[in-house]
Structure formats: C-alpha cells, structure tokens
Amino acid sequence: MDVLVEGFVEAWRLLVSGDEGIWAVTALTLQISLAAAALAVLLGVPLGAAVALHRFWGRRLVLAAANTGFGLPPVVVGLFVTVLLWRSGPLGFLGLLYTPLAMVVAQAVIATPVVVALAATALQQVDPDFRPQMEALGATRARSFAALLGEARLPLLAASMAGFGAVVSEVGAAIMVGGNIEGETRVLTTAAVLATNRGQFALAIALGLVLLLLAFGVNLVLTFVQQRESLR
Amino acid sequence: MTSGIGCRDLVVRAGGRTVLDVPSLEVVAGTTLAVLGRNGAGKSTLLRALALLAAEREGTVLLDGTPATRQRVRTAVAAVLQRPVVRRGSVRHNVASGLLLRGHGRAKAHAAAAAWMDRLGIAHLAEQQARSLSGGERQRVALARALAVRPRVLLLDEPFAGLDATTRTDFVADLRAVLDDPGLATVLVTHDRDEAAALAGCTALLVDGRLRQVGPTSSVLDHPADADCARLVGFANVLSPELTGLRRTVVCRPEHAVVSAAAPTRKGALVVAGRLVRIVPLGGITRVDVTAGRDGDVALSGLVAGEVPAPLRAEEPGAAVSVSFAHQHLRDVPA
Amino acid sequence: MTAVVALALLAGCSGQPTSIVLATTTSTQDSGLLDELVPRFTDATGIAVKTIAVGSGQAIELARRGEADVVLVHSPADEEALVADGATGRRLLVMHNDFVLVGPDDDPAGVAGADVDDALETIAATGSPFVSRGDDSGTHTKELALWSVTGTDPAGDWYVETGQGMAATLRVADERRGYALADRATYLSQADTLALEVVVEGDPGLLNVYHVIEMTAAAGDRVEADGAAAFADWIVSDPAQETIGAFGAGEFGRPLFVPDAGKDLADLTG
C-alpha cells in the first residue's frame, strides 16, 4: 500500500512540477503513436472502404486478416518488424531499427487491422445507395467518396481513436523495435517497464498515470464530439 | 439535334442474366416520360443506367442526341434514387449539397437551396436534421436537392413510394408544377398508373426488362399492346379466344366487369360463366373474384361501388356465377 | 498529410551522423550505470549510442548476427564462444562486481555464511524455493555454472524460472520467500524495497566480470567497426574507469562496480 500511496504522491509531484523527463517522454509517445495512428488511418480507411464497398477476389481474406490482426500480439509484430529491419534483414539498408520511425512502422502495423475492420463496419452502416445518389447528383467519384467519409465521420473517428488506443498502450513492439533508448525511443510504456525493473515504483506508477490520463483525454474528446454530433 | 435524354441498344446484365434490354428510347426537353412496370421489371435498373450508374452496361446513353460521357451526364443530369438518401446535417445543408458536390460555392448553393425549399414547401424545416424527417418530407428534400442543381434531365425513381394518400396527392401536385419547365426532360419510374397519368405526357411499359409499349400516356393506358401490358395498366381481366369464342384476346378493367348470380340478361355485353371464389370488401368498393375456363384456371375480377347485390351476396364460394363485360369497355390485344 | 510531416520529423531526429548499437545486459541498465556512461561517451566522441539492454544471451546473439556493434556483457563462456567465431575485434576487461546469494531474512535453509556450493546443495536438499532468471542472461548462465559445479540438477517444485530481468526476479523471490542469485549492483539498488538479505558473498566463484567486445565487419557489412573500437577505447580509458569506480557511492554508500581496465582476469580471481 505504501508503494501505491508513494506512487500517487510521486506522480502528482512529477506532473505538477512539470518534470522535463516525463513531459519529453509523453511528447515522444504522442508523436510516435499519433504518427502511427495517422499512417494506419491512411492505409486502413481506403482498405476498409474497399472491403466495405466492393466485391473483389480476396475480400473475405482481407476482412478475416483484419479481424485476426485485431488480436495480434504487439510483441509478435515487433518481432517481425525487428527481423525485417535488422542490418542483415531485407530492409536493413534503411538503418531504421531502434529509431522512432521504426516504432511508427511497427505500431502502424498493429493499428492498421483495427482501423480496417472498424472502418469497414463504419462504412457498411451507411446506406449502400449513398454513393450512387451523390454521383447521381453530379458528384465525381472522388467527391462522392469524400462525402461518404464525411457521412461516416463519427464511426471513422472512433476507428482512428481505437487505432491510437491500440498503439499508445502497447509495450511489446515498442521495446523490441525501439530498444527503449533514452531520449530517442523511450515512450511511456517502455519507460514504465524500465522503472519497474529498476524498482522505481513511484516513477512507474507516475508514468502509468500519465498514460491513463492520455487515454482518458482521447476518450473524452471522442465522447464529447459524439455527444455533440448526435444532438444535432 | 434534340435536347433531352435517350438510349440506343442499352443492355444491362446481372449475374449472367439480361435484366434490361432497351433498343431505343428518347425523352425530349419539356416532356415527362413515365416508365411503368412491376417490381423487378428493371425500372430502377433503367434509371440507373441512364444516369450511367449501372455497372455492367452495354450500349449507348444519349444526351442531346449524342453519346453521353460521365462528364456531360454529371453536369446535365440529376437523379433521385428510390430510397431518399439524406445526409447527416440540416435540411438546408442537404438541399445545398448537390451544388456543393458539383464544386459550386457555398453562397450560391445555399441561395439555390433556399429557393427550392420554398418551392417545395420545406422552407420551415431548413434548420432541422434531415434524418429526423418523415418519409414524405425526406422525398421533398431529395427532390429539392436534385432540382437545386438545375438539371436539364431529371430522373425520378418512385418518388411517392411509401407516402400516405394525402401527402402523395399534395406532392404530386407540387411535382407537376415543377415538371412543366420547358427545359427539363424527366423520366419518372413508377408502378402506379395514376402517377403516370397525373404527371407524364408519355408512358413506357416495361415488362421483364423490355419496353413493350411507348406512347402518349392516355393511349398507352387505354389501349394496351399485349396481355402483359394490359395487366400492367389495370386491365386485370384477360379473356382468351378459347374462353370467349372471339377471334382475338380481349381485355377489360375490373371496374367494367359485372359479376351476377343470375343468368345475364344484358345486351351488348360479353358474358363468361365462372365460379365464385370470394367477395372482398375494400371499403367503399367491393371486389368479386371469379375463376373461369374449362380448368378453372382463368382468374377474373369485378369491382362494384358499395356492396354487391343481395342475390350474389348470398352465394357461397364455388357457386356458379356469370361475368359480363360491356363491349365498349373491351380492348383487343394480340394473343 | 500529418502522418507524412510526423514521419519526416521523426526521421530527422534519428539521423545522427554516426551512431552505434551497444548490446548490453539489463543489469547495467537497471542499475543506472549506462545512464552515467553513455552521455559522457557521446560528449567525448560525438558518437551516438543506441543502447539495447537485453539478456547476455540475446546481446551476444545480436552481435554474432552483426546487429550490434559492441557488447558489454558478463557471460564469459558465451563471450569466448563469440570470440571463437572470429568476427570480433578486441575483448577487453572493463570492470567487475560480484554476485551474491540472497534469501529471506529468516534464512529458512540456514545457509548464511556457507560456501556457495554448499549453500546451493542445501537449498536443493531442503527444497527451499529458489528463483532463477531463466533468461539466458549472464546471471542465469553464472547460476547454471554454479549448479553444475555442485552436481545438483536444478529442477522441481522448489525451482522457479521467471524469464525476466534481475529486478523482477528479485521481486518474485521476495514474494515467494525464496533464494536467488543476483548481481550486487541490482540487489543494492532494490534492497530497500525487498525483504531479502545477502546470505552468501565473497566466494571467488561469485565474481561477476564485464568485458567489452568490439565487433568487426566480419559479423556483417553494416557493422560500425570504427565506432565500436572508439567505444571500447573509451570505456577502458581513465575518465570512464573513474566514472565506473565512483558510480553508486553516493546512493548506496559504496561503489557498485570495481573498474578493472588493464588488469588481468587471473588477478581478480586469485
């Protein structure tokens, strides 16, 4: 119990005092996970749309893969990406291993299936005649697609945030691909693991609380937007 | 070169089956063509094909007499699909969205939207969420949205589907005023001949994906080209030569068929013997269903205002009855 | 669009002119020593270091595959096997500390003060809980070597493998009221939150020796041999050795490591 109390006190102190280290780690975490989520959205929404709107060979395969990817352990993704990025691996020449970019790539791999599956569901909820009707009013295919995304913006936003949530809280891929290098690839989760290993429980709890606040903030924004929109 | 929309050798297949095959069709500016057909006849398919929306399409859609491109159709044509797909957001936003989708500015789109909301009587709903509207209001929103883009060709798919009688009467009247625009060519897809009669100068009858008859609405509705067309426009009684002893098949509307329990005495009428199936009160009018023919496989029906006469009312199903059709109400169709 | 910008930013901040990968053990990271050493090295040479703290087994495997440029580990048998592969450059003695056998403060097996061999035999014989790293780390390798000297096969209900780092393993030992082999540095850094005491120490068999091994291009085309050599040179230099010798004195009352550059391994054990 002492450790918990001490942890909360320490967490409060760190957060209130604006401890530079913890904010740097938080900023990096946000940067990496937002970039990964953005990449996952860029890949996942078109793919989810293709799956939702078109009948093509391999469509079920993509859906099944996306749904499997939902439960894909980040550490497995981390392992694959690590081996690919090894100097001796096929992408070794890029020199990406143990960089934030490598973490973005690995986390995007984790988040993309989540976004694909949720985006497909989101777009399937829209009337199948939506795009034909927009085109029947004179919209180009691109405009009708944009209108469709606009129509499904709330569930798509939820899909994006689920993607972000999946990566901001994962540690397996982050530590394997990033290497938990201080100032470069140390994010909230890996820092929390290290702090735990070092027996710095108060710091670990503080980091955990920051992570919790981050997740809470994201969900708060989502809930707020959803509530506001659904009232309109 | 005539202004308007049409097609040549238009064929649409789905799953290896030909669902639409229209060798030729033309609707000129200032006129409205009603395409009358049953469910599954290919009406919506024709409408979507004319809007270049149907996927597997062969042949040519003609816009102003020349082959239509997607680009030209986008600027000239507006279609309202069967279910009124309204977008998230206000009615004003919905009505303006056609112009916005075409890349016009916000101010112009909203000005046009305001004018059309006024004309279609939905101005008071402007700030409401379109998704919260009733079916009739949605239909008006969808129509205003299509008209706001000032199309030269308007394609309407069952705009009155699912509306109650009063709403529909008002809406038909409002639409009638809109369709009188001399620059507008309209294709109205419907299953209801009354809508065709009310709104369209010309009517085409679509059966199993093929146009069986095209002509002035009054003539098409009164002089069907064949038995299928006859049934489509309400000549529910189709009497083959076997049944009548006449040289040609004749058809007659139920409202002109009189079913009676006694032997017929009327002169100048074709009389067919049959057996009573049932008497169906429809509220204000009553329908009498009868089977006729050697095998009892010809279904006939008659409509009477109010209740059926007492002698017939007393009959049980299966009783011998006669159905008489006044000659002036019979129409010849090819066998 | 935002993703592209973010990727560009991220790519920018990792593009140091020279950077090497140091594969090392969790004990050096968990104790905090690396946090002292690495920035000083970077200041002195301008070479950035990506420190990957894993078990000694994985660290050596990464080096063997050319995925790391330099290793700092404490697993002599594995190190010699790596050197024998021929892809390494120099292997230099850096420092040592010692392992300690820790156990519950009431010492249920009664092994306090015994030789490490006798202590382990007694623990096995009495079936007292023993918590092992079980992760191919230097500490784990050392522990297995000690067991093999006793001739006892460490297996049974009493023998627990955590597969985790030193600190986590100590915590498990604490919860289970068991014994564990730990490096002194990690133990000391955790001692105030544990109810574990040192029961055996100072045995020559418990010496924990760290070597730095530089890799060469023979391990892989992309090995930064020059950077590796610079790190090896630096860590045995006087400033680095002084840092090592002073590390922990403030916090724990005594240094956690003994700098050994230039010494002979035989001098330590002898």
The dihedral sign for the CA sequence A187, A193, A196, A198: negative
> Sorting pLDDT into bands at 50, 70 and 90, what band is A51?
very high
Question: Checking DSSP bridges between strand B153-157 and strand B77-80, what pairing results, if any?
Answer: parallel
Cβ–Cβ below 8 Å for A197 and C30: yes
Give the residue-averaged pLDDT of C224-244.
95
d(CA C70, CA C23) in angstroms, rounded, equals 6
> Which range (A54-63, A152-161, B34-43) has the least confidence?
A54-63
Give the residue-averaged pLDDT of A93-110.
92
Residue A1 reports pLDDT greater than 80: no
> Sorting pLDDT into bands at 50, 70 and 90, what band is C270?
low
Cβ–Cβ below 8 Å for A147 and B89: no
Does any CB of chain B come closer than 8 Å to the CB of residue A20?
no
Q: In sequence order, which residues have a C-beta less than 8 Å from that of residue C147 and are 6 or more positions away?
A: C120, C153, C154
In the predicted model, what is the mean pLDDT of chain B? Answer: 91
Cβ–Cβ below 8 Å for C7 and A101: yes
Q: How many A-C residue pairs are in contact by the CB < 8 A criterion?
A: 87
Check residue C135 and give its pLDDT.
Answer: 84
Read off the tokens for C96. Answer: 């040592």
Read off the tokens for B282. Answer: 């429809």
Does any CB of chain A come closer than 8 Å to the CB of residue C30?
yes
Does any CB of chain B come closer than 8 Å to the CB of residue A129?
yes
Does any CB of chain A come closer than 8 Å to the CB of residue B57?
no
Per-range mean pLDDT, top range of A1-15, B263-277, C107-121: C107-121
Check residue C43 and give its pLDDT.
Answer: 94
SS3 C4: helix
Check residue A104 and give its pLDDT.
Answer: 96
With touching defined as 3 or more inter-chain CB pairs under 8 Å, the answer for chains C and A is yes
Percent of chain C's residues with pLDDT above 90: 58
Domains of chain B: 4-231 (3.40.50.300), 235-333 (2.40.50.140)
d(CA B255, CA B232) in angstroms, rounded, equals 15
Check residue C221 and give its pLDDT.
Answer: 86
Nearest CA in chain A to B130: A232
Nearest CA in chain A to B72: A138
> Sorting pLDDT into bands at 50, 70 and 90, what band is B264?
low
Q: In sequence order, which residues have a C-beta less than 8 Å from that of residue B125 and are 6 or more positions away?
A: B91, B117, B133, B137, B141
Closest by CA position to A48, among listed A30, A69, A75, A74 = A69
> Which chain A residues are closer than 8 Å to B103 by Cβ?
143
Closest residue to B81, CB basis, from A132, A138, A151 = A132
Residue C12 reports pLDDT greater than 80: no
Cβ–Cβ below 8 Å for B75 and A135: no
> Sorting pLDDT into bands at 50, 70 and 90, what band is B283?
confident
In order of A99, B25, C230, the CA distances from C15 in angstroms are 9, 67, 20
Does any CB of chain A come closer than 8 Å to the CB of residue B161?
no
Domains of chain A: 2-231 (1.10.3720.10)
Residue B97 reports pLDDT greater than 70: yes
> Which chain C residues are closer than 8 Å to A41 by Cβ?
3
Residue B186 reports pLDDT greater than 90: yes
In order of A116, B112, B311, B332, the CA distances from A60 in angstroms are 12, 44, 66, 55
Residue C256 reports pLDDT greater than 50: yes
> Which chain C residues are closer than 8 Å to A198 by Cβ?
30-32, 167, 189-190
Cβ–Cβ below 8 Å for C53 and A99: no
Read off the tokens for B246. Answer: 């006449």
Residues 192..221 of B with a Cβ closer than 8 Å to A: which?
Answer: none
Tens digit of pLDDT for each residue in A10-39? 778 877 887 778 888 999 999 999 999 999
Residue B55 reports pLDDT greater than 90: no
Does any CB of chain A come closer than 8 Å to the CB of residue C21?
yes
Q: In sequence order, which residues have a C-beta less than 8 Å from that of residue B114 and are 6 or more positions away?
A: B92, B123, B126
Does any CB of chain B come closer than 8 Å to the CB of residue A232?
yes
Check residue C11 and give its pLDDT.
Answer: 41
Cβ–Cβ below 8 Å for B97 and A147: yes
Burial of A227 (0-12, 13-18, 19+ CB in 10 A): exposed
Tell me the sheet residues that pair with B250.
B239, B332
Contact between residue C38 and residue C192 where contact means Cβ atoms under 8 Å apart: no
Read off the tokens for A211. Answer: 């992570």
> Which range (A53-57, B139-143, B272-276) has the least confidence?
A53-57
Nearest CA in chain A to B129: A232
Closest by CA position to A188, among listed A83, A107, A73, A96 = A107
d(CA B326, CA B252) in angstroms, rounded, equals 9
Which of C4, C9, C13, C162 has the most A C-beta neighbours within 10 Å, making it the best mutation to test the interface with A? C13
The dihedral sign for the CA sequence A140, A143, A145, A148: negative
Does any CB of chain A come closer than 8 Å to the CB of residue C56?
no
Check residue C15 and give its pLDDT.
Answer: 39
Residue C127 reports pLDDT greater than 70: yes
Closest residue to A199, CB basis, from C13, C50, C189 = C189
Residue with tokens 């009855």: B321
> Which chain B residues are closer than 8 Å to A127 by Cβ?
83, 85
Residues 88..147 of C with a Cβ closer than 8 Å to A: which?
Answer: none
Give the residue-averaged pLDDT of C142-166.
90
In order of A78, A110, B20, B206, C227, the CA distances from A44 in angstroms are 19, 11, 37, 43, 40
> Sorting pLDDT into bands at 50, 70 and 90, what band is A86?
confident
Does any CB of chain B come closer than 8 Å to the CB of residue A149?
no
Tens digit of pLDDT for each residue in A152-200? 998 999 899 999 988 999 999 998 899 888 888 999 999 998 888 777 7
Does any CB of chain A come closer than 8 Å to the CB of residue B53?
yes
Contact between residue A29 and residue A187 where contact means Cβ atoms under 8 Å apart: yes
Give the residue-averaged pLDDT of C37-66.
91
Check residue C7 and give its pLDDT.
Answer: 43
Check residue C14 and give its pLDDT.
Answer: 39
> Sorting pLDDT into bands at 50, 70 and 90, what band is C9?
very low
